[in-house]
Structure 1
Amino acid sequence: MSPFISLEGKRALVTSGTRGAGAATVKLFRELGAKVLTSARSRPEDLPAEMFVGVDLTTPEGCAQLAETVRQRLGGVDIIVHMLGGSSAPAGGYEALTDEEWRKELDLNLMPAVRLDRELVPAMTAQGSGVIVHVTSIQRVMPLPESTIGYAAAKAALSSYSKSLSKLVSPKGVRVVRISPGWIATEGSIAFAERLSGQHGVSVEAGRKMIMDALGGIPIGRPASTDEVANLIAFVSSDRAGSITGTEYVIDGGTVPTV
């Protein structure tokens, strides 16, 4: 019996694939038969060198270097997963965000996808097939005003760009899908819960609850696992999802309170 999902023979690029949901996606793609290339600023010891490109994707030069390496090592690409994202902006609402902080948020959460798509998608449309997955965030529809204004705005821009791109390239055989996670149980989020527990003199579990409360609660009572996010990305990247394009899949345990 053939597997429900196979990525056998597919050439895939997963940005920021050395930890968290990105690493889980790289691992699953490989298990499903894809030839995977990933990027970050530094390579973990357990990742084969031939699978890795060390680049800074917040710069045009880094994006150009990664695109050229994709062409050299893979001969093109069938799946692009834009996993890169995050925020280093200070808390304090709109007044705390200087022009430089706004630039950092856009250069991390929007422009790498724009630049890499511009480099790599024309070859996809020329071959008449391909999948682009833009990982956005539920923060685009429910930003935390004290801490994620810039991040949320950049992810909203990514989502709008993704929808526009889908209308341009889907008629040429290239699907574009958005994945919108809520809180994911990554190393970073666990460390954040531990910091909260230390700061407030409570248990780590209480620290986790503080994060969930800040999001308005998570109905299933826990964050998504990195494997759960990877599973969804693998499905929409596979031929099983052949008629899915231009849409968004939310994986947040029910956090977003509206339809």
Structure 2
Amino acid sequence: MNQSLKGKVALVTGGTKGIGKAIADKLGNCGVEVIVVARTKPKDNINKHYFIPADLAQAESAGIIAKEIIDTYGKIDIIVNNAGANLTPKGGYSVLSDKDWDNELQLNLMAAVRINRALLPFMIEQENGVIINISMNPAKQPIWDTTMAYSAAKAALNAYGKALATEVGSKGIRVNTVSPGLVKTPQMEKYIHKMVESSPVTEEEAMKSLMDKVGYIPLGRAAEPEEIADMVKFLVSPEAKYITGAVYQVDGGALAVV
């Protein structure tokens, strides 16, 4: 699999930390030329990925990114739309303003839509390419007081990915969605740290509380970012050449639906 990806060119949005960094590093270790996009340049770029600064919530960013990629590399083989975040306040429907809803949709849905729209013509011209959209379990299991708008945006991303896969499959492009559950990212570690600081609980108790909130995890732990990257690595490889239009849960068995 490592050799089969050598020489490919991949874009990973939100690729400087957490799941995105794990994906970028995993692909880079397979010989892929990796471009990462984020608002802030990472302090340490050990693998020396090509970096493009951009705020993907801004509509004009996608065209600027696409132009720089094509001007620099002349092609694009893999797109991983990983950028996303749950930005809205807690409290349910009554506390969510139109601006809150728009923020969630811009970052968690429209950023991927615009990146794909800007780069798909080049994939179609070369009659080959793979797109991976990174969703999250709340798309199928929303939590009313914390993920209402985020869940709606990610659910829309799932539906968009399926529709896009149907449209571009005959043109040699595969589109799949990877949907993690609880993952040990810097953002999650920060959340755990805040819980420990604000209440008399240990780190282990805080983690258990978080796991209980997202639901029972049969494997009994959160995922490492590298475990999400492993699924992405497989799906972008020729070994997955007959897989498209699918949503893969990588959640330790947490999602309580078939």
Range into which the TM-score falls when normalised by the shorter chain: over 0.9
Q: State the match for 2:86 in structure 1.
A: 87
Shift of 1:4: 6.1
| Count of residue pairs the alignment pairs up | 257
Where does 1:14-29 land on structure 2 (aligned, <5 Å)? 14-29=12-27
- Residue type of the alignment partner of 2:182: W
Distance (Å, rounded) in 2 between the aligned partners of 1:22 and 1:45 = 15
2:36 is equivalent to residue 38 of structure 1: yes
Distance (Å, rounded) in 2 between the aligned partners of 1:25 and 1:49 = 14
Where does 1:79-228 land on structure 2 (aligned, <5 Å)? 79-228=78-227
- Residue type of the alignment partner of 2:146: S
- Residue type of the alignment partner of 2:208: K
Per-residue Cα deviation, 1:201-256 (whole angstroms, up to 9, x for no partner): 11001100111000122111111100000111000000110000000110001110
Distance (Å, rounded) in 2 between the aligned partners of 1:194 and 1:56 = 27
Other structure's SS at 2:170 match: helix
Other structure's SS at 1:12 match: strand
Label 1:36 to 1:60 Cα distance change in 2 as closer, same or farther (>3 A). same
Other structure's SS at 1:183 match: coil
- Residue type of the alignment partner of 1:41: R
Distance (Å, rounded) in 2 between the aligned partners of 1:212 and 1:152 = 18
Distance (Å, rounded) in 1 between the aligned partners of 2:19 and 2:198 = 27
Per-residue Cα deviation, 1:97-134 (whole angstroms, up to 9, x for no partner): 10000000001100011111111012111211100000
Label 1:152 to 1:5 Cα distance change in 2 as closer, same or farther (>3 A). farther
Could you tell me which runs of 5 or more consecutive residues in structure 1 were left unpaired when the two chains were aligned: none
RMSD of Structure 2 on Structure 1 (CA) = 1.3
TM-score by length of 2: 0.97
The answer on whether the counterparts of 2:39 and 2:53 sit within 8 Å (CA) in structure 1 is yes
Other structure's SS at 2:176 match: strand
Shift of 1:5: 6.1
Could you tell me which runs of 5 or more consecutive residues in structure 2 were left unpaired when the two chains were aligned: none
Shift of 1:50: 6.5
Distance (Å, rounded) in 2 between the aligned partners of 1:4 and 1:76 = 20
The answer on whether the counterparts of 2:34 and 2:49 sit within 8 Å (CA) in structure 1 is no
Q: State the match for 1:256 in structure 2.
A: 255
Other structure's SS at 1:81 match: strand
Shift of 1:30: 0.7
Per-residue Cα deviation, 1:173-224 (whole angstroms, up to 9, x for no partner): 1000100000110011012112112222110011001110001221111111
Distance (Å, rounded) in 1 between the aligned partners of 2:80 and 2:72 = 17
Other structure's SS at 1:6 match: helix
- Residue type of the alignment partner of 1:154: A
The answer on whether the counterparts of 1:5 and 1:240 sit within 8 Å (CA) in structure 2 is no
2:77 is equivalent to residue 70 of structure 1: no
**Stretch deviating more after TM superposition (91-100 or 48-57):** 48-57
- Residue type of the alignment partner of 2:154: K
The answer on whether the counterparts of 2:2 and 2:30 sit within 8 Å (CA) in structure 1 is no
Distance (Å, rounded) in 1 between the aligned partners of 2:48 and 2:232 = 24
Runs of 4+ with >4 A deviation: none
Shift of 1:76: 1.8
The answer on whether the counterparts of 1:5 and 1:238 sit within 8 Å (CA) in structure 2 is no
Distance (Å, rounded) in 2 between the aligned partners of 1:190 and 1:253 = 19
The answer on whether the counterparts of 1:5 and 1:235 sit within 8 Å (CA) in structure 2 is no
